[in-house]
Structure 1
């Protein structure tokens, strides 16, 4: 339960970062600068829009859906979550799972955007384990004084030459890895089509 709450808060933070980015014209040429610039605007933007978003849950989802895609590579996330099952899936199944997974993220976590109470976000270190890959480490201080270690993973898109976010880790636990473990069991017992159908049904609610 504690882990789930942390993931909710963390994904909300990720969503809120990308939500503010369009207005701030964030620099995507450098992973550190990207996260730094995003973090400078996120706190103010959440406070400014909290009441409006809180009054309309559907607007939160629509708002997140509109702004998250340019900065977070959801297709890459979906491929990782499917793991070995991605290779055996048909192109149609891959496309349908990617869309259903994106909708699941938005449905599950978009409301956490307005619940965030963060007082400070500080980039502490950036590592590039290999060319075109980066981990941006931050300390996130919540309003109650609790500090969490948050790591954003990014890669450089060779076609657009822009850095994209594709995973977030809190206190050593990866959002993507957590979902991959969950879905591995689902794919194994239900099959790809049934998992997709189940996600679509849940996303209607």
Structure 2
């Protein structure tokens, strides 16, 4: 059987593309690991810097979270089905309130990690543009380290954290359940819920 010149050309192109796709899939775990190592070093440094005031410390945490986390995607996931019914104005207000709340929560929570030793244990691919990075937090006063996993995606060519899993518990899923309960208790009033998020951020 004769094979057309066009078919041979297309086959050659297809074969040439296979290695590049394989490299792309392999690279995500390396990029993800580097991201978490950088975030960990910067976060611990910010926590332990006694020269920083509370305002400066929060500003640094804000930059860390905005640069390293896909906050818009996390916010949409946490709001669940209520996102679809929101107006553009409500979505914008919610995204802003969510970011303020997340920064406040993590800035407060990270104070508990003064003096801890942070290390990345491993990083593995979960598919194209998707990786899980496992890290360890070793408190100075305990022999038992905490296991933290970071779900990292590369949706637009840049790796970002979309979930933090602490000892097997997804923070994004937990937050989604918390938000769903709050929305159900207030009758699905998103404006009221956004106001509540702002209060949490200011607390």
Partners of 1:148 and 1:139 in 2: CA distance: 6
Inter-CA distance 75–151: structure 2 relative to 1 (3 Å threshold): same
Deviation of the 1:36 alpha carbon: 3.0
1:132-143 to structure 2, matched below 5 A, reads 132-143=129-140
Secondary structure of 2:51 counterpart: helix
Question: Partners of 1:203 and 1:45 in 2: how far apart?
Answer: 20
- Cα deviation for residue 40 of structure 1 reads 4.9
The answer to whether the 8 A contact 2:76-2:83 is kept is yes
Q: Is the 8 A contact 2:132 2:149 kept in 1?
A: yes
Aligned residues of 2:43 and 2:61 also touching (Cα < 8 A) = no
Say whether residues 1:80 and 2:77 are aligned partners: yes
Report the counterpart of residue 109 of structure 1 in structure 2. Answer: 106
Partner of 1:8: none
TM norm structure 2? 0.74
Deviation at 1:183, TM superposition (A): 0.5
Counterpart of 2:148 in structure 1 is 150
SS where residue 96 of structure 1 aligns? helix
Tell me if 1:36 matches 2:37: yes
Q: What is the Cα-based RMSD across aligned positions, in Å?
A: 2.3
Alignment gaps of 5+ in structure 1: 1-27
The answer to which of 126-135 and 34-43 deviates more is 34-43
- Structure-2 residue corresponding to 1:192: 190
- Give TM-score, length-normalised by structure 1: 0.74
Change (3 A) 1:90 1:46: same
Count of aligned residue pairs for this structure pair: 172
**TM-fit CA distance, 1:146:** 2.4
CA contact (8 A) 1:118 1:140 kept: no
In 1, are the aligned partners of 2:32 and 2:131 still within 8 Å (CA)? yes
- The question of whether the paired residues in 1 share the 8 Å contact of 2:163 and 2:171 is answered with yes
